[in-house]
Structure 1
């Protein structure tokens, strides 16, 4: 059977009971070709936890260099104490200790594979996902000094994508993990703040996030996905995140990220509170980034200075653009986007208020229902769809946005770069207007 083409063997395996890859294991002894095909499936996606038994099985299963080359995705679950067995004061230090030990032991295991990846250009690194359980109770705090027991995790070169599913992992721990993976290309990181947290804690988490993004070595990074929720309590004024110089450190840090030499995709999901400083460009610079292809921004309607990008208008909620704050943001955005020659797709969402989307020439992306009102005769031009949403209209039928227009400087910048602009005002089903500027 070793002489049968692999395509034929794959077809034979597809007819077997393959709903679970483990059931194919007995067929691996039929011939070497079967063994290769079955192990390529069986060892491609592996899930382990931090128990001694699971770690021992993982080490035994991948003792062979041949099998290590088959691994594509490793999901590592860290089981933490349940909240019902620990008081709040006891819970956090124990989580810190167990999480740090678990990650250190996994990296020590993967460090043994280093020479294999360092000396073979044909091997592909795999994806690593770290999943603390239960997720919602993990909160690593640097003041507990638990991570300092292992200030430097063993280096890992066989991973090029890392995903963290814990929304309460303190940012400085991410920095510690990344020091062991200097060549990381894809980082997915979730960190949320909740309204029940004290203001000082929320400010510290934001400052720590900015610090990690500012000083971390992301020179090899190609994809950065951040998920961050920063809700504003209904019974409080918006928090102020600017420093004594009136600057927002997180916006400035993300501005540095935009200019990374190898970054192809920046995906900010959730609700980021950012200022126009994210799009800062130096006067005279012809290019912001030669590599960026896709950008997605999910933004809060508040500014880091404690103001709003949108205000209420005739009881419609915060949907009416506030020129003093929104116009500078839109102009800075436009000036940066036209200096990204590789950009294919850009989207910016202010939930319930505005949705901005850019398509590069030749880009074919599914449109939202609101965008279907525009029929593009050709896709060979740069185009913007700018949709400002409404929930009501004035008594005379005019849109509530009739007294606000896109900033003239934004229109001038985009048209000067041969970008076409399609402006929509209103909500489908309630009434809307659309025009090409």
Structure 2
């Protein structure tokens, strides 16, 4: 049985994701699909619109055979560490033959060539820390390479743009703007991770179809980015839930409607502002600097900015972002910073020494009958423990996952004790009985 791996967030799962899923199976000639999915908080420093169990249900309904949670230690990281964690998870299963990712270029040969050349320049063969730049992004290659990224970031460039410029300079490639496109950048990092892990999986890519990664407007009758769909839902939840219907599969629409009716969605940053405000208010400046992503004196800026926000005013989190944002501090950087503070993620808990080891376990969120067969094989082939019950595994990263899920549940309209402690009791979802498990 050939198996392809995909790396996803499904926030929410839409028609573009279905296209990627179907094409991934075609180009890899796979019979089964393993999805590594971010849990409660995502790569751009945002809470998931709906909880990971609802999104797992969407993935299984689409046809995924096995859904594995990417630990929050990786899922909320910049591109390079996010990619490193996700690829290490797929590689660790021992059952994934190929992995497939979306890209703007669709040019695997060019991405692979660039990844190999950058890896050859990498002095440590593993990601280096660039947290002192204020970006939190990891960099590879020589000191000059990392210095170029730092300089570009400090001048206000986005990370993809800064990385593309540094790569172009290092490789003496004038035409490097294609690398600044977000999915090309992420794809390059997936391939770099595969090189560093000496992975055996075969990579393949699919050209991104119609809507761009961060496109906020809707220009197609059937395809829209997850960003645009979340924006639509946030503007008027009741009115726009139905407006999402043409852009998502029927099962996604049904699950979203159910979660909305139950008060478990939509979850966004405004849902957490009072909790975040309280944490910042009672935390001293020195202690604030101990949180991940808080660099270059950002703790002082946060303390000043929080005092300008009216918690009872409209969109207090947006007020905070407006007060904090500069050329140096992008919105994504600031959202990741707020995620660290909200989730109590200290720098020592997410050290490079821990992250560079790759995922320490494989947390199973759901499976199909074919996925159950993969699980049986994985118990023999996996390089790390396979976790179906949290009580069976003890690891600091798993503790962070459980805590993140509990915090995410605080955003529900009326969270119950069962909601807050669900990660302790919820077994993996099985295709066909998700409703019976209360998802």
> Do Structure 1 and Structure 2 share a fold, with TM-score over 0.5?
no
TM-score range, shorter chain: under 0.3
The structure whose residues are more often strand, as a share, is 1
Higher RCO structure (Cα 8 Å, ≥6 apart) = 2
TM-score (norm 2): 0.21
